[in-house]
Amino acid sequence: MTEWRKSTYSVNGTDCVEIGHGVGVRDSKAPATHIALGPGAWTAFLTATKADKLTR
């Protein structure tokens, strides 16, 4: 069973991104599904996020 962690930036605890170690990410409002990310994709995602390169 995967342990999911919510983002520390989550304000109200309902509109969250959750991270599952070795599994990927999911939306807290739709926990039955997730996006699988390998180590390289996860690193690229974090790098882009920290550099504010993601679009909304």
d(CA 15, CA 29): 7
Mean pLDDT over 31-50 rounds to 87
Provide the pLDDT for residue 47. Answer: 92
What are the sequence ranges of the domains in the chain?
Answer: 4-50
pLDDT range class, residue 13, cuts 50, 70, 90: low
What is the separation of C-alpha 39 from the centre of its chain, rounded to a whole number of angstroms? 13
Q: Say if residues 6 and 13 touch (Cβ distance below 8 Å).
A: yes
Cβ atoms within 10 Å, residue 4: 16
